[in-house]
Structure 1
Amino acid sequence: MEEPLCLVRNGPDGELSLNPAALEVLRGIRQPVVVVAIAGPYRTGKSFLLNRLAQRRSGFHLGHTVQAETKGIWMWCLPHPCRANTTLVLLDTEGLGDPDKGDSRNDAWIFTLALLLSSTLVYNSTSTIDQQALENLGVVMALMERVRVRAGESGDAAAADFVRFFPGFVWAVRDFVLELSVDGQSVNEDEYLEHVLRLQPGSSRVVQEQNELRRCLRDFFPNRKCFVLPPPAEPEAMKHLEELKEGQLRPRFLQQADAFCRHIWDTAPVKALPGRAAVMGRMLASLAERYVEAIGNSGVLCLESAVMALAAAENTVAVAAAVAEYRRRMERELKLPTASQKELGDAHQRCERRALALFMARVFADKEQRYQLQLMSELEAAKEEFCRRNEAASEERCRAVLQELWRDVERRLDRGEYAVPGGSRRFQEHLGELMEKYHQRPGLGVKAAAVLEKFLREHEVLVRALREADQQLSEYEKKRVASEAAAAAAAAKAAAAAEAVRATEARQEEQRRSLEEQKRQLEKLLWRQQRAMLEEQERVIEHKLREQEALLEEGFEREAEALWEQIRRLEEEKEEMKKPSWIQQALDRLSSAAMLLQSLVQILLSVSQLVIWRK
């Protein structure tokens, strides 16, 4: 993108809507995205800071009056400056507290969208982190009323799990001119932030409300960072920031701004969903759609519902992409007809393995293996289609060869060479030669015996008529010739039956190998998911333990004890995650469904064979 584009429109009535053009940009990004959103009071220099992250002098519009410039949420997608194959998505939000708007609920939703869409949230404020600055960040409290992790949960229960969905948090304090010190001791920026977030003693309603906000910030954002930046230029030059060259900006500002940008570029993570599913551009677009739709419909966001809806859409696409990959590879590898069913089966295994790997790399939140079973069914159907095409190509090739070889016999028939004494035996000899030449032809494929058997049946009447008309043959010789012809027909029929049995056995072996590959790749995915879930659970537990320790140090024993109940529940969940039984249940579920699918395929094959034999 050469310049930013509005992603979320904020209408005059406060109704939020999405810009289709911006969604199309996101859907075109087939890379993981690092999403950095900036929020804060209006007219505090958010856009200027984002432009530096974009390494551009201009881009997000800078305002120079007391009126807010940015409305809604604006987006800028750029190649990540430090990571290959990664896109940096910058989100500039409408300023909080704009007096011209007069609707704090709208502020809360804009802030909530920025928070939920980002992997790192930058909160931008001015002067110092005082009580007023904290109160400006009170929109966080609205999350407990407006956002749920799971449908039907209370606000308190949801808040305990917010940390799984929330981004990293960076507080950028602009125009900071004070010395960083606490109780006369010099501190760094992070220590300054942690000091500000300490709970205050007292039991008054005001103190409790202030502490509740501090608790929310500490609980929701375990990864916190602070930067203090002095004014970028002299007051008279601030109106022309876009026009100032680097040498005209204050050195201390440049130093701090560079440290801020480096921190974001180096540490801001790829946007991920619970379970560590990396978010691509199209997924970010889908999340935005679902969040805005939920805000408009009910005014309550259910994060798990949004993720599950996204998973359903993404997994459906993953199935389609895997099947398309399978078909492309089969078309490239196969030259029909194949010499045997095994040759086709081997190609199927190779292509299926690649399609499965592609699917496993994209699927997420498929707890019941619904989409893997759908993939298994569609791959089996695609394979059967290739089998039918292979058989059709074989039949066409075999009929063409027989037709070519039969021409010589047909010319002899037309000339009457077989309508003479001894003609019947000569015809039998020529028919034997035809069969020998037929078997010597390459590339007949899997239906060679079946097509030959049908060919012989089609010419039984001619063989019988020549035999009966041959006056040179005695009745005994006619019976002997008839017996030889019947034996040849029986041998051809037996060969066709054996050919069908071999094909059926080959297909059964393909199904067995396919199931083993499906189980192997699923088990690998499940163990990887288990590791990710345990790592995420450990991070949450460690965060809660640190917070509990901080509460004890600050003298808030009752709050620390309440937090211990959350920790105990998280520990129990972790122990359940460690058990391999849920992995085995998933594998058993896949096996049962696969066996049912295989039974259906076998029934269809049996019916197909019955139809062929009746013909």
Structure 2
Amino acid sequence: MNEDKHMSIFEAPKCLVSTDDNGQFKVEEEILKQIQEIDKQLVILAITGLYRTGKSYLMNRLANSSNGFPLGKTIESKTKGIWIWCKDHPRKDNTVLVLLDTEGLGDVSKGDKDHDNRIFTLVVLLCNVLVYNMMSTFNQDAVDKLTFITEMSKNIRFQNRTESVDDEQLRMILPTFVLCLRDFSLELEKDGNKITPDVYLEDCLKLKQGDDSTINKYNRPRECILKYFCKRKCFVFDRPGGRKVLQQLECIPLEALSDEFIEETKLFLDYMYACESKVLLNSKPVNGRMFSTLIETYVNAIRNGAVPVVDDAFMAVANLENERMAAVAVKEFAEKLKMIELPVLKTNDFENLYQEIQKGALSKLRHESVFNSEKYEKNAV
């Protein structure tokens, strides 16, 4: 992708959403301008999870790089806010792979659990594949920490709806949920038979029967995952090596890692690279301009203390794209009119040529438009 190589977001990870002194989200305008220049469909992969669980390593591998996103070697959380790195998609033409790395959730030093909820909500709305990274097994303690998932339905809404979001609507906008379990040492067996990581995940999500407070607490996060993430996938990773290997993961060559870890990472990469592009509700692929509008709309809502309204964001995208496409249609229409060789001796011949050019311009506008283009057609040709 050649024409985008000069942009810094293709060279290294850049901060996309930071936090100001008041704890409010702030979109980095220079980075947003670069995103707007990407006129290709996007596959948007985001990674989140508790801090210090090795999220950034997986993102660097997705970028086919040994470094880029910083890997902390101490107990401190390294990534702050949301960072972005764009790459040519390794297996899809005319497509950009967008990697979003989020600051680790559950860092008690932040002292603000709502901050985690806002980060999680924002990244869920922006991506079409969400990788949730955690250490070891998907046990009760791990599930109990998924408070941001149980709060999610309160943090997203549709226009003119005061009640809970419709389940089907949420499924249409929420990403594929990919669970990555690191340093996983259990034998994947059940009743003496080998099982896949996917079966292990679904087994962990099974609900208990009953209606007392303990069972309700157990079921609640599982219900939310089952309800809102209808497409789920699970990968397990063995330890890549000993402590020294973990401390030098950025610079150690791939062949120095354990065979199991290398094979498991390959399976993960193959799956992620096969994921489809992000689309709007009408299956329109999202490009850089559309993505930047979504970012601004959602962040502005959160900054103003509001719950992000999906309809508002999608309509903002539709309006900008349709205005742009209408302007393109007008320009092409005018250029083709100029190409008519004069004089045209018969009025009917001229009208037929005019209508043919107009029909072609409108057809292209309707094909490229987002949602309803009727009002833009009237102003176009």
TM-score, normalised with respect to structure 1: 0.58
1:51 alignment partner AA: N
> Does residue 1:233 correspond to 2:241, yes or no?
yes
Identify the residue that residue 64 of structure 2 maps to in structure 1: 55
Identify the residue that residue 135 of structure 1 maps to in structure 2: 144
Instruction: Give the direction of change, closer, same or farther, for the CA distance of 1:114–1:374 in structure 2 (3 Å limit).
Output: closer
> Which runs of no fewer than 5 residues in structure 1 stay unpaired?
380-615
Asked if structure 2 preserves the Cα contact closer than 8 Å seen for 1:74 and 1:93, the reply is: yes
Identify the residue that residue 117 of structure 1 maps to in structure 2: 126
**CA RMSD in angstroms, aligned pairs only:** 1.7
Instruction: Give the direction of change, closer, same or farther, for the CA distance of 1:76–1:167 in structure 2 (3 Å limit).
Output: same
SS of match in other structure, 2:250: helix
Mapped to 1, the partners of 2:335 and 2:65 lie a distance apart of: 42
1:226 alignment partner AA: C
Higher strand fraction (1 or 2): 2
Mapped to 1, the partners of 2:380 and 2:253 lie a distance apart of: 60
Asked if structure 2 preserves the Cα contact closer than 8 Å seen for 1:120 and 1:269, the reply is: no
1:176 corresponds, among 180, 184, 188, to: 184
1:144 corresponds, among 153, 160, 164, to: 153
Give the C-alpha shift of residue 111 in structure 1: 0.8
Instruction: Give the direction of change, closer, same or farther, for the CA distance of 1:357–1:160 in structure 2 (3 Å limit).
Output: closer
- Offset from partner CA, 1:512-558 (integer Å, 9 cap, x none): xxxxxxxxxxxxxxxxxxxxxxxxxxxxxxxxxxxxxxxxxxxxxxx
Identify the residue that residue 200 of structure 2 maps to in structure 1: 192
Identify the residue that residue 224 of structure 1 maps to in structure 2: 232
Give the C-alpha shift of residue 377 in structure 1: 4.2
Identify the residue that residue 353 of structure 1 maps to in structure 2: 359
Identity of aligned residues (%): 35
- Offset from partner CA, 1:114-167 (integer Å, 9 cap, x none): 111111111000011011211222201211212112333312x43452111111
2:45 corresponds, among 31, 36, 40, to: 36
Mapped to 1, the partners of 2:214 and 2:136 lie a distance apart of: 23
Instruction: Give the direction of change, closer, same or farther, for the CA distance of 1:145–1:85 in structure 2 (3 Å limit).
Output: same
Query: Where do 4+ consecutive residues of structure 1 move more than 6 Å?
Result: none
SS of match in other structure, 1:100: helix
SS of match in other structure, 2:151: helix
Asked if structure 2 preserves the Cα contact closer than 8 Å seen for 1:330 and 1:348, the reply is: yes
> Does residue 1:321 correspond to 2:328, yes or no?
yes
Mapped to 2, the partners of 1:46 and 1:120 lie a distance apart of: 14
Mapped to 1, the partners of 2:19 and 2:314 lie a distance apart of: 24
SS of match in other structure, 1:242: coil
Give the C-alpha shift of residue 355 in structure 1: 1.6
Give the C-alpha shift of residue 350 in structure 1: 3.5
Of the two, which has the highest radius of gyration?
A: 1
> Does residue 1:83 correspond to 2:89, yes or no?
no
Give the C-alpha shift of residue 315 in structure 1: 1.5
- Offset from partner CA, 1:190-245 (integer Å, 9 cap, x none): 00000000002332213202212111101111111000011222211211111111
Mapped to 2, the partners of 1:233 and 1:151 lie a distance apart of: 53
SS of match in other structure, 1:148: coil
Asked if structure 1 preserves the Cα contact closer than 8 Å seen for 2:323 and 2:376, the reply is: no
Asked if structure 2 preserves the Cα contact closer than 8 Å seen for 1:149 and 1:162, the reply is: no
Instruction: Give the direction of change, closer, same or farther, for the CA distance of 1:341–1:131 in structure 2 (3 Å limit).
Output: same
- Offset from partner CA, 1:586-606 (integer Å, 9 cap, x none): xxxxxxxxxxxxxxxxxxxxx
SS of match in other structure, 2:47: strand
Identify the residue that residue 64 of structure 1 maps to in structure 2: 73
1:271 corresponds, among 275, 278, 298, to: 278
Instruction: Give the direction of change, closer, same or farther, for the CA distance of 1:236–1:378 in structure 2 (3 Å limit).
Output: closer
Give the C-alpha shift of residue 354 in structure 1: 2.9
- Offset from partner CA, 1:357-389 (integer Å, 9 cap, x none): 3212221221xxxx424423431xxxxxxxxxx
> Does residue 1:158 correspond to 2:166, yes or no?
yes
SS of match in other structure, 1:30: coil
Instruction: Give the direction of change, closer, same or farther, for the CA distance of 1:68–1:136 in structure 2 (3 Å limit).
Output: same
- Offset from partner CA, 1:395-436 (integer Å, 9 cap, x none): xxxxxxxxxxxxxxxxxxxxxxxxxxxxxxxxxxxxxxxxxx
- Offset from partner CA, 1:317-370 (integer Å, 9 cap, x none): 221121122122223x2245544444443432333233223212221221xxxx
1:274 alignment partner AA: L
Higher helix fraction (1 or 2): 1
1:222 alignment partner AA: C
1:207 corresponds, among 215, 221, 224, to: 215
Q: How does 1:299-378 map to 2 (within 5 A)?
A: 299-331=306-338, 333-366=339-372, 371-378=373-380
2:374 alignment partner AA: Q
Asked if structure 1 preserves the Cα contact closer than 8 Å seen for 2:120 and 2:148, the reply is: yes
Q: How does 1:387-426 map to 2 (within 5 A)?
A: none
Mapped to 2, the partners of 1:81 and 1:141 lie a distance apart of: 35
Mapped to 2, the partners of 1:275 and 1:290 lie a distance apart of: 19
- Offset from partner CA, 1:540-578 (integer Å, 9 cap, x none): xxxxxxxxxxxxxxxxxxxxxxxxxxxxxxxxxxxxxxx
Give the C-alpha shift of residue 283 in structure 1: 0.3
SS of match in other structure, 1:9: strand
Mapped to 2, the partners of 1:295 and 1:87 lie a distance apart of: 27
Mapped to 2, the partners of 1:233 and 1:337 lie a distance apart of: 80
Mapped to 2, the partners of 1:240 and 1:328 lie a distance apart of: 60
- Bigger relative contact order, structure 1 or 2 (CA pairs below 8 A, ≥6 apart): 2
Asked if structure 1 preserves the Cα contact closer than 8 Å seen for 2:322 and 2:376, the reply is: no
2:367 alignment partner AA: A
Instruction: Give the direction of change, closer, same or farther, for the CA distance of 1:150–1:181 in structure 2 (3 Å limit).
Output: farther
1:92 corresponds, among 101, 104, 107, to: 101
SS of match in other structure, 1:306: helix
Give the C-alpha shift of residue 297 in structure 1: 1.6
Mapped to 2, the partners of 1:378 and 1:247 lie a distance apart of: 59
2:219 alignment partner AA: N
Mapped to 2, the partners of 1:373 and 1:311 lie a distance apart of: 12
Asked if structure 2 preserves the Cα contact closer than 8 Å seen for 1:150 and 1:158, the reply is: no
Mapped to 1, the partners of 2:245 and 2:376 lie a distance apart of: 63
